[in-house]
Structure 1
Amino acid sequence: MSHSRQSAKKAGEVCVRGRPREFDTDTVLTHASQQFWDHGYHATSIDDLCKATGVLRGSLYGVFGDKHGIMLAALDHYAQGAVARLAQRLSATAEPQQALRDALLHYARVSCALSGRRSCFITNTTLEMQPDDEQLRERVASIQRRMATLLAAAVIRGQASGAFDSTLDEQAVGDFLLCVMQGLRVMGRVAHTEDALTGIVDVAMRALT
C-alpha cells in the first residue's frame, strides 16, 4: 500500500471532528476515482465528489485535506489494482511470449471498449496533468516505473526461454512496451478497431524476437 493510501486509511480510522468515521476509505476512493476518470480533475468539483461518494465535504477534507489530496489518494487506489492485475496477467501459466502478448491484447480490447473520453484513468490523468503539479507528476512516474519493471521482468523470462532476443536491454524494452500500452490507450480514445490495435501488438512482439 502506498504512503498516501496508508495515511488516508489511518486518517479514516480516527474521529472526524469528534465523530466516528462514517465511511469506508476504499469505497470512497473507488467512487472518487470513477468521478475523476469520467470527468477529469479540473472539471470535477468538491460538490461532485460529495455526490459521487455520498460523503460530506467536511469529512472528505478531514481525511484527504482537499480536492488535490483526494485525487492523489484516488490515483494511488486505482493504480494499486491496475499494477496488481498487470502482474497477474504477466505471471500467467502460459509461455512468457504468450503471456506478454495476451497482456498487451487485453489493453487493446479494453481501449476499444472504453473508446472516447473515458479511456484509462492513469492515461487520462497523465494527459491532463499540469507541468507544475510535482506531486501528481511523481505519482504518475512511480506508477509507470512499477509497470515498466513488471514488463522488463516478463522480457527477462522470455529471454531465458529463448523466445526473445537475448541481446535486448530488458529495461529499455520494458519502457518500450509501456509506451505501447499507453499508446493503445490513447489510440483507443479515437475509436480505432480492435483489429488495428491487435496489429500494433503483433508488431511490438516481433520487435522482441
Structure 2
Amino acid sequence: MKGRPNLYQDNELILKAQELFWEKGYNATSLADLSKATGAGAGSLYNTFKGGKKELFKKSLRQRREDFDDFKWKVEKSDHPIQLIKDFFISVAVASEKAHMKGCIVANTLIEMTFVDDELENEAVEILKETEKLYTSVITKEQQSGNIKSKLPADSLGKFLITLWCGINSLRRMYPNEKILRQQIELQLKILD
C-alpha cells in the first residue's frame, strides 16, 4: 500500500484489524499480525494511526459503537421495539461457529482489559452502559404501555439484558449449537413477556 491511505482505506483497515482483534484480543495481536491482516506495512499503519495499535483498537471499538447507533435508531423507530431486541438476542443462536468462538468484541475487551488498561476497559464499559440505557428506556415505555407485564424495575431489566448478553457470549463458546442457544436465550427472554 503506497502513500497514506484515504478515508475509505482507513475504514477498510479498521474493519480488517477489528476482525483480528476480535479473534485474538488486543494483547495477543502483534503489529506483524496487523500488517499481514490489513496488507499495510508497519510504517503505513503508524502514519495512519498515530497512536499505533491502541488507536487502531479504539477505532475498532468505535466502529462497533456505530453499529450500536444503527441498532438504536431502528429500535427507537420500531412499533415493536421489544420484539426487535428479542430478535437481536435470538440471532446469536443462528450465528456461525466462528462467530460463536469470537463472542462479542466489547464484552471480550471488558474482560481482557480489566486491571490492564483503564482507557480501553472504560471504552467497553461505556458501550455496554449505552446499550443498557437503551434497553431500560424501551422497557420503561413498554411497561407503561402494558406491553411488558413484568413489574420488575426497568433499570433492573436493562441490567439483566446486559448480564444475559455477557453470559451468552461465554455460553456460545461452550455450546456453539443453535438448538441449545435458542432454548437458553428464549428462556431468559421470557422475563420481557
Q: TM-score, normalised by structure 1?
A: 0.77
Give the letter aligned to residue 204 of structure 1.
Q
Tell me how far 1:187 sits from its aligned partner. Answer: 0.7
State the Cα distance separating 1:147 from its structure 2 match: 1.0
Once the two structures are TM-superposed, the CA of residue 35 in structure 1 deviates from its matched residue by: 1.3
Q: Structure 1, residues 95-127: CA drift from partner, whole Å, max 9, x if none?
A: 3442332122123333756233x2222232233
Other-structure match for 1:175: 159
Query: What is the CA–CA distance in structure 2 between the aligned matches of 1:155 and 1:164, rounded to whole Å?
Result: 7
1:73 shift after superposition: 1.7
Q: Distance in 2 between matches of 1:166 and 1:123?
A: 27
Deviations 1:37-68 (A, max 9, x none): 12222221111111212222123223322222
- Alignment match, 2:148: 164
Q: Is the aligned partner of 1:22 residue 2:1?
A: no
Tell me, yes or no, if the aligned pair for 2:139 and 2:154 is still in contact at 8 Å: yes
Q: Which string of whole-angstrom CA distances, capped at 9 and with x for unpartnered residues, describes residues 76-106 of structure 1?
A: 123322x135325534745344233212212
Report the Cα distance in structure 2 between the residues aligned to 1:150 and 1:88, rounded to whole angstroms.
10
Cα 1:36–1:94 shift into 2, 3 Å? same
Equivalent-residue separation in structure 2 for 1:50 and 1:113 (angstroms): 22
Mapping for residues 124-143 of structure 1, pairs under 5 Å: 124-143=108-127
Write the letter of the residue equivalent to 1:75: L
Residues 1:41 and 1:113: Cα distance change in structure 2 (over 3 Å)? closer
Instruction: Report the 3-state secondary structure (helix = DSSP H, G, I; strand = E; otherwise coil) of the residue aligned with 1:50.
Output: helix
Q: Which amino acid aligns with 1:53?
A: T
In structure 2, the gaps of 5 or more residues are none
Alignment of 1:38-187 (within 5 A): 38-64=23-49, 65-81=51-67, 83-87=68-72, 90-91=75-76, 93=78, 95-110=80-95, 114-116=99-101, 118-165=102-149, 167-187=151-171
**What is the DSSP-based 3-state SS (H/G/I as helix, E as strand, rest coil) of the residue aligned with 2:123?**
helix
Distance 1:146 1:183 in 2: 18
Q: Do the aligned residues in 1 keep the contact of 2:3 with 2:44 (CA within 8 Å)?
A: no
RMSD: 2.5
Aligned length: 189
Partner AA of 2:133 in structure 1: T
Residue type matched to 2:65 in 1?
A
Identity %: 26
Partner of 2:182 in structure 1? 198
TM-score (norm 2): 0.83
8 A contact 2:106–2:128 mirrored in 1: no
Please give the alpha-carbon distance, in whole angstroms, between the structure 2 residues aligned to 1:90 and 1:198.
Answer: 21
